[in-house]
């Protein structure tokens, strides 16, 4: 890692990056098999993403024990090496990753990194998300396969992969507390996925039975929407927005604040008015609900942290509403805002 950071030119000339990438690919996959399955036979159905026990997501890297030679520590430092390659030799590692095809017992490199986002240790999740943010930043969501050459394997254009990616991102986001760096990386990736789904015709079919089973014990899925149909475009992007809306409906921790931040990043990044217009009601509804929300239990005295959380969320929602109004114009904004507000008030009255 030090050599890559200090003398990337030497590493580039030595042409060892492809071999390093292949070794990392195999190592990361094996470490995840050991950790996730506890030695169980490969090929069995993986545990539900929602049921995986994630450690405290708000823990900063460097806090606590470094891990020594434990599995998570080896996995973490292997991912750090991958991050350094993406930072200092992005073209070399990108080319090496695209040159590899999936094997029967060895998934694509970035599929393994995506799985690392769901690892129980927060340091592993943080570095995995940073790698994925670096990876998607080198791609154009409007036309994912425009620069692909023959025999290159881009995971994001393969059947169902954008959906799998978005689902993993949502699970990682769905935590009470996230560090600011982790939230930034997640926002970058989620905005990319929403835009890529909107502009693509990549299929996003899922096994509805598996989806139902995965969501059966989730406390936050009620408003998340069902899985997308077997098509891309607006339907695929809409599923991700609906899932984010469902996460933001949970008032525990900083979930609402984090979702508002993701929505704000989408409004900032997207220049296509048609794309924004297709999701305006959902974005505005999230803001309105955040601004009128109260404590989960009004009989319980709120802590200073909870009060600050509520204040931060309402401020972020107000800023997002202002940004939306500037993008779509006051006339359109007022009309949609009024309609959404009436719908919210009607739903409250029915209860």
Nearest 5°: phi and psi at 5?
Answer: -70, -40
> 148, 168, 172: which is closest to 158 by C-alpha?
148
Arithmetic mean of pLDDT over the chain: 79
Tens digit of each residue's pLDDT (9 = 90 or more) over 317-348: 999 999 999 988 898 899 999 998 998 888 77
**One digit per residue, pLDDT tens: the chain, 351 residues?**
555 655 565 556 567 788 888 899 999 999 998 876 653 433 333 444 444 555 555 556 665 554 455 888 899 999 999 999 998 888 888 988 988 887 878 899 999 999 999 998 889 999 999 999 999 999 999 887 666 666 677 889 888 899 999 999 999 999 999 999 999 999 999 999 999 999 886 544 444 434 433 443 343 333 444 555 444 567 888 899 999 999 998 888 899 999 999 999 999 998 888 888 888 888 999 898 888 876 444 445 567 878 888 889 999 999 999 999 998 889 889 999 999 899 888 877 666
CB atoms inside a 10 Å sphere around CB 102: 13
What is the reported pLDDT for 270? 87
CA pair distance 135, 169, nearest whole angstrom: 14
- Is the Cβ–Cβ distance between 59 and 180 less than 8 Å? no
What is residue 103's three-state secondary structure? strand
Model pTM score: 0.81
- Is the Cβ–Cβ distance between 113 and 28 less than 8 Å? yes
Nearest 5°: phi and psi at 323?
Answer: -65, -40
Query: Distance of CA 5 to CAs 25, 84, 233, 296, Å?
Result: 20, 7, 40, 47
Tens digit of each residue's pLDDT (9 = 90 or more) over 176-201: 999 999 999 999 999 999 999 998 86
Q: Of all helices (H) and strands (E), which one includes residue 98?
A: helix 90-99
What is the reported pLDDT for 64? 54
What is the reported pLDDT for 35? 79
């Amino acid at each position: 890692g030090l050599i890559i950071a200090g003398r990337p030119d030497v590493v580039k000339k030595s042409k060892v990056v492809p071999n390093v990438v292949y070794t990392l690919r195999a190592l990361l996959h094996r470490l995840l098999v050991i950790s996730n399955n506890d030695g169980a036979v490969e090929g069995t159905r993986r545990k539900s993403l929602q049921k995986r026990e994630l450690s405290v997501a708000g823990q900063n890297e460097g806090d606590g024990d470094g891990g020594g030679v434990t599995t998570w520590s080896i996995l973490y430092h292997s991912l750090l090496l991958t991050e350094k390659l993406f930072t200092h030799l992005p073209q070399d590692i990108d080319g090496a990753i695209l040159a590899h095809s999936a094997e029967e017992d060895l998934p694509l490199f970035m599929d393994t990194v995506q799985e690392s986002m769901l690892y129980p240790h927060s340091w592993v999740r943080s570095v995995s998300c940073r790698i994925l943010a670096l990876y998607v930043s080198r791609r154009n969501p409007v036309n994912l396969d425009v620069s692909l050459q023959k025999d290159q394997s881009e995971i994001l254009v393969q059947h169902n992969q954008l959906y799998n990616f978005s689902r993993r991102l949502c699970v990682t986001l769905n935590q009470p507390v996230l560090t600011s760096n982790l939230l930034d990386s997640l926002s970058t990736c989620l905005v990319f996925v929403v835009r890529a789904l909107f502009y693509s015709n990549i299929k996003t079919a899922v096994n509805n039975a598996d989806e139902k089973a995965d969501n059966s014990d989730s406390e936050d899925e009620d408003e998340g929407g069902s899985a997308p149909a077997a098509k891309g475009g607006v339907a695929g992007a809409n599923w991700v927005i609906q899932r984010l809306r469902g996460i933001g409906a949970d008032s525990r921790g900083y979930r609402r604040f984090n979702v508002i931040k993701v929505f704000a990043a989408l409004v900032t990044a997207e220049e296509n008015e048609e794309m924004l217009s297709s999701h305006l009601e959902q974005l505005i509804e999230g803001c309105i609900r955040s601004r009128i929300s109260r404590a989960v239990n009004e009989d319980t005295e709120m802590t200073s942290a909870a009060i600050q959380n509520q204040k931060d969320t309402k401020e972020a929602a107000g800023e997002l509403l202002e940004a939306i109004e500037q993008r779509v114009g006051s006339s359109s904004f007022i009309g949609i805002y009024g309609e959404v507000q009436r719908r919210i008030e009607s739903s409250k009255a029915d209860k």
